[in-house]
């Protein structure tokens, strides 16, 4: 690390500390020039949007999945059955969904779209949950023409059912 880089790092740390200190000074010093209406902010502090909006008390999908009903999921699967078999290696319009939970994405003998072929990773319950919400959002360019399952409960029940296909 050369001197210039060290200067940058030290400067960055000092800058962050300064912002923290200013924040700690808090609301009491935030307004000057009188109380009540018409008081102007003495200064505004630009704070990065560090907290993502969806942090609002979201129930983790794993919890919803733990309470899911595989029997109800088998009925949701009727929406997939025209294109996907549940028996190993059977190709219909799409690849077999036998053992799909935690299987590699695009790992079957199937002519995947380049999107799915290049996605990488595994079909974890979370990944399936996102994909099945709206396939074209999760995997733009996918050849799976399916609008998605709007209800989280349907997705959880379905993924619970898919987990039984082992
Ligand atoms: C109209 C036919 C069709 C329907 C309906 C459909 N799929 Fe698909 N599905 C496909 C095709 C085609 C692919 C391959 C997509 C690609 O390569 O981009 C696919 C891919 C997948 C994959 C990725 C498999 C892998 O090996 O990586 C999963 C998971 C999946 N579908 C689940 C479902 C589920 C669950 C449903 C029902 C809610 C469903 N699909 C409904 C046609 C369909």
Q: What's the number of domains the chain is made of?
A: 2
Answer with the residue of higher pLDDT: 9 or 75. Answer: 75
Residue 114 falls within a domain, yes or no?
yes
Ligand 1 near 129 CB (within 6 A):
no
Do 66 and 111 share a domain, yes or no? yes
Residue 150 falls within a domain, yes or no?
yes
If you measure from the C-alpha of residue 119 to the centroid of ligand 1, how many angstroms do you get, rounded to a whole number? 14
Atom nearest to 108 CA in ligand 1? 26
Residue 55 falls within a domain, yes or no?
no
pTM beyond cutoff 0.75: no
Atom nearest to 119 CA in ligand 1? 27
Q: Say yes or no to pLDDT of 95 above 70.
A: yes
Residue 14 falls within a domain, yes or no?
yes
Sign of CA dihedral 156, 158, 159, 164: positive
Count of residues for the chain?
166
pLDDT for residue 117: 97
Q: Which domain range does residue 83 map to?
A: 61-163
Do 85 and 152 share a domain, yes or no? yes
If you measure from the C-alpha of residue 94 to the centroid of ligand 1, how many angstroms do you get, rounded to a whole number? 5
In order, the DSSP letters of the chain are --HHHHHHHHHHHHHHHHHHHHHHH-GGGTEES-SSTTPEES--------S-GGGSSPPPHHHHHHT--HHHHHHHGGGTTTT--SSTT--SSS---TT-TTPBTT-SSS---HHHHHH-SB--HHHHHHHHH-HHHHSTT-S--------HHHHHHHHHHHHT--
Most informative mutation of 84, 118, 125 for ligand 1 (most atoms within 8 A of CB): 84
Q: What is the pLDDT of residues 141-150, one digit of tens each?
A: 999 999 999 9
Cα(56)–Cα(58) distance, integer angstroms: 6
Cα(108)–Cα(88) distance, integer angstroms: 10
Do 123 and 84 share a domain, yes or no? yes
CB of 143 closer than 8 Å to CB of 113: yes
Do 14 and 87 share a domain, yes or no? no
Mean pLDDT of the chain: 86
Residue 56 falls within a domain, yes or no?
no
CATH code of the domain in which 159 resides: 1.10.760.10
């Amino acid at each position: 690390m050369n001197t210039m880089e060290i200067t940058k790092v030290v400067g960055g740390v000092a800058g962050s500390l300064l912002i923290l200190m200013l924040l700690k000074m808090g609301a009491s010093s935030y307004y000057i020039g009188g109380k009540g209406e018409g008081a102007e902010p003495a200064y505004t502090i630009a704070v990065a949007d560090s907290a993502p909006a969806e942090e609002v008390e979201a129930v983790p999908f794993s919890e919803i999945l733990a309470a899911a009903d595989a029997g109800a999921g088998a009925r949701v699967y009727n929406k997939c059955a025209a294109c996907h078999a549940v028996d190993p290696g059977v190709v219909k319009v799409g690849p077999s969904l036998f053992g799909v939970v935690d299987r590699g994405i695009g790992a079957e003998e199937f002519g995947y779209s380049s999107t799915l072929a290049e996605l990488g990773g595994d079909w974890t319950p979370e990944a399936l949950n996102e994909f099945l919400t709206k396939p074209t959002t999760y995997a733009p360019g996918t050849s799976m023409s399916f609008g998605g399952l709007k209800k989280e409960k349907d997705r959880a029940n379905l993924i619970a059912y898919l987990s039984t296909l082992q």
